[in-house]
Amino acid sequence: MLNRCTPARAVPACAECRRRLSRRVSRAVLRGVEPGFGELWAAAGAEPSTPPVTLASTPLGRGLVASRGLKRGELVVSIPLSVCLLVQDGEAEGGPSEARLARSLLAVVADAESFWHGYQHLLPTMTGAVSLWPASSVDELQWPAAVDAAQGARLHWRGLAARMGSGERALWALSMVHSRSFAVNLPDSGRLRVLAPLCDLVNNEQPSATEAACAGEDDEVMPWRVQDGRFELRAVRDFSAGDEVVMYYGHETSLELLMSYGFIPSPNPVDHVVLYADIEELLDDDRWTPPETPRTRREKAAMLRGADAAAAPLAVRPGGLPAMAHLLGCLRVMHCPASQLSRLEERFDAAVGHAVWHWCEGDAELQRTVDADALAQACARARELLEELPTTLEEDLASMEQELQVNGVQALRYRMEVKKLLLSLANSTRTSRGGV
């Protein structure tokens, strides 16, 4: 069984001992015997010498489970860089980093003397990443931005695989790189892309918007780093014995997770569905705003373009209207009379994790009217986008009961989440004069 764990051995004292153990592990695989988790831990030269985690089936899939209590910042696993696979990120001779790392992976899993030959039984035979789907399955995502992004990624992966010349094995290796590699920045080496065995078994936990915005501000909560020639994975919070040890992968939307990893978290507190592609599209959509002078339009455009969060998605988010404060704040600017623009200021909003447009003072009744008009536009835009989709949420629910293909189920799940988010906004109080 893939999640079988054998008693941990002490880490061998020298690199040559680890190489001999690694070769024994690889030869066991050739004989059809799957090495235990403890054997792999020792063969990798992992620290601590006694693993603080075991490998087990969890609600998130197969993952690392704490065998004892772990404190925030405590070492979970450390692997020598000599066991890891790493390449310089970006384009270089041999192609992009994803292709170069995929080639390295194919080489080491085929080498019977390599640690990775023995470790490969813990790697999935394939992920459910959208980029591996047939084109027709990708179209079933329905949401135009999602279909375009996924079809582009699909063509990109297949183009790389064709240049690698390894067929389905190349696609497998690319899927491992996209779903299991880490990015690290080193002062002397720049940005690296790393495949770190054992570390790559940790599963994803989606944080709130505020937690995601604050990630990285405190070194102690960074889940991985390179230090003293080793790749380290640390606990991002306290874990009790029996808890699955998880971390934040760094991908925000369900589409990004589905494209790289092949899963959709439920719920995903930081998912979003974009109503306007950017500030320029929002400025162009003046169907719901009263006629304005060119000077007022320029002033509003300058405010929105120059905002601290100008590049943040203008999107519907889980968590109700408070979580959509950025979208509604920008619409507040759009509907604000010229005489009241000075009453708007940017302030940090914990519900969205960045600064948004808020009222600072002024005519409370007028501000409620502006807020109601802003909400009315958001509701109308959400309904408009829903009407453009080929099926309704009710029709998708009926289809889910009949769908047998994994890709089809995932596509249905994705587009249903999109529609639920849009409906959560479209069904908001449309005539309310309360604050947004």
pLDDT digits (tens, 9 = 90+) for 323-359: 999 999 999 999 999 999 999 999 999 888 899 999 9
Averaged pLDDT of the chain: 86
- For the cut 90, the answer to whether the pLDDT of residue 278 exceeds it is yes
- For the cut 80, the answer to whether the pLDDT of residue 11 exceeds it is no
**Assigned architecture for domain 273-426:** Alpha-Beta Complex (3.90)
390-404 pLDDT, tens per residue?
A: 999 999 999 988 877
Q: Which helix (H) or strand (E) is 91 found in, with range?
A: strand 91-92
Q: What is the pLDDT of residue 435?
A: 43
Q: What is the pLDDT of residue 165?
A: 86
Closest C-alpha among 86, 98, 85, 110 to residue 159: 98
Residue 322 CA to residue 276 CA, distance in Å, equals: 18
pLDDT top residue among 61 and 159: 159
- CATH number of this structure's domain 15-122+181-251: 3.90.1410.10
Q: What is the pLDDT of residue 34?
A: 56
Closest C-alpha among 106, 105, 121, 126 to residue 31: 121
Q: What is the pLDDT of residue 8?
A: 36
- For the cut 50, the answer to whether the pLDDT of residue 148 exceeds it is yes
What single DSSP character describes residue 421?
A: H
- For the cut 50, the answer to whether the pLDDT of residue 431 exceeds it is no
Closest C-alpha among 199, 267, 264, 206 to residue 234: 199
Q: Where are the domains of the chain?
A: 15-122+181-251, 273-426
In terms of Cβ atoms closer than 10 Å to its own Cβ (0-12, 13-18, 19+), residue 3 is middle
176-224 pLDDT, tens per residue?
A: 999 999 999 888 878 899 999 999 999 988 766 556 555 544 444 578 9
High-pLDDT (> 90) share of the chain, %: 64
**Would you state the torsion angle of the CA atoms of residues 385, 390, 394, 396, taken in this order, to the nearest 10 degrees?**
-120
pLDDT category, 12, cuts 50, 70, 90? Answer: very low
Q: What is the pLDDT of residue 1?
A: 24
